[in-house]
Structure 1
Amino acid sequence: MALYTYQLYCQHIDTARNMARYYLLSIQPTLFGEVVVTRAWGRIGKRGGEKSEMFPTEREAAKHFLELARRKRAKGYRPVGSCGNGGIRRPSNDGGT
């Protein structure tokens, strides 16, 4: 059973190149005690691709999740919102606290 919920939704938008892409990562437990890293990608507003990979432990799945997230960040993808992850908040632009 997964101890933590891992979800990440990122976008890469470049209007000059007519690029509007999304990338979604999540970790979920299976009924058989394994852990699945699921990723989905494509153009924003369109159906894209999806891939799931199974891992025997949450630790291995988390390492893979973080490596995928690192690669996407290097390609210009940026997180959007908290995607349901508790405790993560975006800073406000109003200068208040």
Structure 2
Amino acid sequence: METLIASLTHQRRIDSESSLAPARQIAQATWMAAHGELRERWRATDLARNIARDYELLVTTDLFGWTLVERQWRRIGTAGQHTRTSFANAQDAARLIAAIRQRRASAHRRIGAEYTRIQL
């Protein structure tokens, strides 16, 4: 019973952190998209459940002023998959970035392992 209560408390903390001021997250991502490069990487591992995931996000601006959002996801040790999306408006890119961050924050509830941010 204590484990269940602890996990619910932990889940509530993650949910509240992921919904922490979405406007602030969008503003930060908009600034980063307009002024330079943003690179983030997350990793989720749980050996008991055979979970070994890696997720990388790169936001840059191309020569024409468009904001590029590149995402790569994979099982650790494999090539994985990637996608690139371009936006004429940095605010649209920021909304995608905020959604990606929120999705990574909800991983504990979805896959049973929490993503941790890796310093690059």
TM-score (norm 2): 0.63
Structure 1 stretches of 4+ with a deviation exceeding 3 A read none
- Once residues 58 and 4 of structure 1 are traced to their aligned partners in structure 2, the CA distance between those partners, rounded to angstroms, is 11
Structure with the larger helix share:
2
Structure 1 residue 45: Cα displacement: 1.5
RMSD: 1.5
Counterpart residue type for residue 29 of structure 1? T
2:64 pairs, out of 24, 32, 40, with 32
Count of matched residue positions in the alignment of Structure 1 and Structure 2: 82
Q: Which has the larger radius of gyration?
A: 2
Identity over the aligned pairs, expressed in percent?
29
1:8 pairs, out of 22, 31, 40, with 40
Structure with the larger strand share:
1
Contact 2:53 2:74 in 1 (8 A): yes
| Unmatched 5+ stretches in structure 1 | 84-97
The more displaced of 66-75 and 8-17 is 66-75
TM-score (norm 1): 0.76
Structure 1 residue 63: Cα displacement: 2.0
Structure 1 residue 80: Cα displacement: 1.1
- 1:41-97 deviations in Å (ceiling 9; x for gaps): 00111100000111112222122112111101211222011x2xxxxxxxxxxxxxx
Residues 41-52 of structure 1 aligned to structure 2 (within 5 Å): 41-52=73-84
1:54 pairs, out of 83, 86, 89, with 86
Contact 2:70 2:82 in 1 (8 A): yes
